[in-house]
Amino acid sequence: MPDGVTQLLIERGLLPAGAAPLVQNMRDKASNLVISAFDFLGVPYRRGGNSEETGFDCSGFTRHVFERTLGLVLPRRADDQAKADGLQQVGRDELKPGDLVFFNTLRHTFSHVGIYVGDGKFIHAPRTGQNVRVEDMREAYWTHRFTGGRRVPGVNDGNELMREAGMSQPR
């Protein structure tokens, strides 16, 4: 049984009747990714770190969460993650939970990465002496340094899931 919002969209002809399981699958993947990221709140930053036991740097954190949750192995460095094949570029106003968000923190594009969790916030491993935490992208520091978002197709893109299922997109 689809949730109320999905049911309303189907009834209004904005989603095909068969889309309910796909919409739920999309929500589940994005939710699981964000929930998995929250499991690591408080883990200390460690340059080059890529595990809960030893600590994370920013790209080690995102790589670990995506591999653990989706089985997707991202490249090791933030700038390589931003350029990874198969990821879709998304703008700030298009971000959805589970998207990767990139920032220029070391005077070069894509030098920092985190995971968008919704409501203008993201989770990341910030820097030496800090722990994995949630920050608000609307704060001036992050607003000025945002360099883009990336999305894994099928994680939070309903149109991609519908295409995979051979359904036409809603109009």
- pLDDT at position 71 is 92
Residue 171: DSSP 8-state: -
Mean pLDDT for all residues in the chain? 85
Q: Record the tokens describing residue 94, joined without a space.
A: 């298009």
86-100: pLDDT as tens digits? 999 999 999 999 999
Give bridge partners of residue 151 from the DSSP assignment.
Answer: 88
29-79: pLDDT as tens digits? 788 899 999 999 999 999 999 999 999 999 999 999 999 999 999 999 999
Q: Cα 142 vs. chain centroid, distance in angstroms?
A: 16
Residue 12 has pLDDT above 80, yes or no: no
Verify whether residue 124 is a known catalytic residue: yes
CA distance 118 to 108: 25
Q: In what order do the strands lie in the sheet with 88-90?
A: 88-90, 146-151, 100-103, 112-118, 121-124, 133-136
C-alpha torsion angle, residues 55, 42, 114, 24 (rounded to 10)? 120
Q: Which domains are delineated in the chain?
A: 4-164 (3.90.1720.10)
CA distance 92 to 40: 24
User: What are the percentages of helix, strand and coil residues in the chain, rounded to 5?
Assistant: 35, 20, 40
26 — pLDDT class (breaks 50, 70, 90) = low
Q: Record the tokens describing residue 85, joined without a space.
A: 């094949």
For every residue of 56-70, DSSP letters joined together read E-HHHHHHHHHHHHH
Residue 5 has pLDDT above 80, yes or no: no
Verify whether residue 64 is a known catalytic residue: no
- pLDDT at position 162 is 44
